[in-house]
Amino acid sequence: MKKLLAVLFSLMLLSFVACGKDSDVIESGKTIKIGFLGPMTGDAGNYGKLMSQSVKIAIEEFNAAGGAEGFNAELIVEDTEGKVEKGNPAIEKLAGVDKVFGIVGAVFSSVSLAVAPKAEAAKIVMISPSSTHKDLPGKGKFIFRDVMSDALQAVVFGKYLAKVDNVKTVAILYVKNDYSQGLAMDFKAQYEKEGGKVVAVETALQGDKDFKTQLTKIKGANPEALYVPNYVAEIAQILEQAKQLGLKTKIYSADGFSNPQIFELAGDLSNGVIYTQAAEQPASQNKINFEAKYQAKWGEKPDAFSLNAYDGAKIILNAIKETSSKGMSGVLKVDRDKVRDFVAKTKDYDGASGKITFTADGDLVANIGIYTVENKQFKQLKMFKLDGEKLAEIK
């Protein structure tokens, strides 16, 4: 009986290994599947729409150039609605059913943190164009991002408000998710370290529409500035309700503010808001070409995260092309470890978003831009980097 069980176990093991190998072999006539994880519907749907449109362009360019050994790529879009409970089944489908070789996403930090271990276990290179939570790169060696971390922008902004803008008192209103809360707490710690005073901290839930109770308390604290490191759906409501309550204070935010939908939702109230984002690099021909192609195809401009999504897709597809080989039977052999190692060596990649270099743990080497809005147009004011503990302006 024991011998029979041993034989059965051996057969099961061989079957499992064979299935693992099959998942890395693409038969003739099939496609190289790439996934996109992001909100396509709901309040945050515009983020996913803009980014997925970028990935579609990258896929089209890859296929037009001959793909990998003649094999075309195919995009599988999964709508997370920006929710962890939607992200988990989505990554399970992409990994177990679609057997994708790369994922652009997830979009929100909370979802990325949840799905990253599953992507790691399935050896799927995942490059997030917008998840900025400081803990994300530590989720595995297959996990990357081509957007700056919350920790970096929070530290820089804390120093900037205290030492450059000379803001003495700040109130904070954040939404209870990984992105917003992480930024708020890191900013608070750095700002207070620099001598600033946080006079009020208020919270809300993602999807809330009424912030008047929190804003009334903040008004009573009489801060010089209000920091709202949230997404545009909440920020627009906060700007409108702050105006209704007569709250006259400087408004500061983070890179979640950079989605152009803010102009539709908040109109002129978006003017004058100051926020952080990865510093704008000199416009390369790649950026000029991509933005023109995006405008022509989709009838709208890409946002900063869309540039990142395009670059992330291009990096993944290029890694697959450079590391895969065609077998004698006409199949395409893709080694997931080799794809990951190729991506990890990315240095000074000339992308639409600028030069991309990954650190040893998969994070992005980045400088921080200080931006504002003038006449409903994003404008970079200054650019900084951290030189040890010192905030250094880049001219």
pLDDT of residue 29: 93
pLDDT of residue 286: 92
Neighbours of 135 (CB within 10 A): 15
pLDDT (tens digit per residue) in 306-326: 999 999 999 999 999 999 999
**Element (DSSP H or E) covering residue 180:** helix 178-193
Percent of the chain with pLDDT over 90: 90
Output the average pLDDT for the chain. 93
Range 238-255 average pLDDT: 97
pLDDT of residue 7: 40
Asked whether the predicted pLDDT for residue 1 surpasses 70, the reply is no
Asked whether the predicted pLDDT for residue 301 surpasses 60, the reply is yes
pLDDT of residue 388: 87
Rg (CA), the chain: 23
pLDDT (tens digit per residue) in 210-221: 999 999 999 999
pLDDT of residue 280: 87
Asked whether the predicted pLDDT for residue 293 surpasses 70, the reply is yes
Range 172-183 average pLDDT: 96
Higher model confidence: residue 41 or residue 21?
A: 41
Asked if residues 293 and 57 have their Cβ atoms less than 8 Å apart, the reply is: yes
Helix, strand or coil, per DSSP, at residue 100: coil
CA atoms within 13 A on the CB side of 80: 32
Asked whether the predicted pLDDT for residue 8 surpasses 50, the reply is no
Percent of the chain with pLDDT over 70: 94
Asked whether the predicted pLDDT for residue 208 surpasses 70, the reply is yes
Query: Which domains are delineated in the chain?
Result: 2-148+283-356 (3.40.50.2300), 151-280+368-393 (3.40.50.2300)
**pLDDT class of 86 with cuts at 50, 70, 90:** very high
Asked whether the predicted pLDDT for residue 95 surpasses 60, the reply is yes
Nearest to 378 by CA among 283, 304, 287, 293: 304
Q: Positive or negative, the Cα torsion across 272, 277, 281, 285?
A: negative
Asked whether the predicted pLDDT for residue 255 surpasses 90, the reply is yes
Range 63-71 average pLDDT: 98
pLDDT of residue 56: 98
Interatomic CA distance for residues 46 and 41, integer angstroms: 8
Q: In the block, which residue shows the tokens 């291009």? A: 314
pLDDT of residue 9: 37
What DSSP letter does each residue of 49-76 carry, written as one string? HHHHHHHHHHHHHHHHTTTBTTBPEEEE
Q: How far is CA 358 from CA 76, 104, 110, 344, 366, in A?
A: 25, 16, 22, 7, 9
pLDDT of residue 395: 87
Q: How far is CA 172 from CA 68, 223, 236, 285, 325, in A?
A: 49, 10, 16, 40, 53
Q: Positive or negative, the Cα torsion across 271, 353, 288, 260?
A: negative
Range 162-181 average pLDDT: 97
